Amino acid sequence: MNTPDLPSFWAVIPAAGIGSRMRADRPKQYLQLAGKSILEHTLNCFLDHPCLRGVVVSLAEDDPFWPSLACARDGRIHTAAGGAERADSVLNALLRLAELGAGEQDWVLVHDAARPNLAPSDLDLLLAELADDEIGGLLAVPARDTLKRVGRDGRVRETIDRSVIWQAYTPQMFRLGALHQALAEALVSDVAVTDEASAMEWAGRSPRLIEGRADNLKVTRPEDLHYLERLWRGRH
């Protein structure tokens, strides 16, 4: 894929989460993987891309771990205040992008801080497929396992048709102005949004799904980290 055919973009990494399910002594994005923190690996998925205009990382107040990372002194990386929820952190990052000169029609890619295994080919695919899209979209993977809907008693109520179910991944790619408006209005209306696509959906838009690699996983539990350690053994 020729880089000149790809659009320029900004990246936003919300990194203010705690990640309590990891049962670790620090937020999961700062756990070590192949000699670096997960967050450093995640940032490296974007930093050397020729179409990148800059990155904003949203950090928790008084984050004691970020200043110790070498990338904290990288001029391409800027920071914003993290919020109580992901939507707050992303909204603050978008405001920071505007301060840096980003325009309302600029593409913004929001990516999970603990999703360090984004393949360059998936990033380029997302950029290429959505370059001329009116709305934007996200990487996603079709559901492969049988899905069950359960009741409060823990018993199966029905089997869901998995042919129409996809798992939403990141990056999620939208125009800065449209995403800012959707997130701001959702927050004002006290609407719970779990990712950027759900904010756009609530605003009446239909993001496009781009099928990506299943190994672009988010580190959520200890076994996820162990899987990546095995996968990366000898690669990094």
In a domain, 91, yes or no: yes
Question: Is 142 among the domain residues?
Answer: no
Residue with tokens 């295994």: 117
Taking a C-beta distance cutoff of 8 angstroms, is the pair 55, 46 a contact? yes
**Residue 55 within a domain:** yes
For residue 173, what are its two tokens?
A: 């790619």
Q: Does residue 196 fall inside a structural domain?
A: yes
The three-class DSSP label of residue 26 is coil
What would the pLDDT profile of 186-236 be if each residue is shown by its tens digit? 999 999 899 999 999 999 999 999 999 999 999 999 999 999 999 888 665
**Is the residue at 156 inside a domain?**
no
In a domain, residue 190? The reply is: yes
Sheet holding 77-81, edge to edge: 77-81, 52-59, 9-15, 107-110, 166-175, 136-142, 208-211
Q: How many domains does one find in the chain? A: 1
State the pTM of this model: 0.94
- Whether residue 211 is contained in a domain is answered as no
188: domain range? 7-136+170-205+220-232
Summarised one tens digit per residue, pLDDT across range 210-223 is: 999 999 999 999 99
Mean pLDDT of the chain: 93
| 214 within domain boundaries | no
CATH number of the domain enclosing 47: 3.90.550.10
Task: For residue 23, give both structure tokens.
Answer: 């049962």
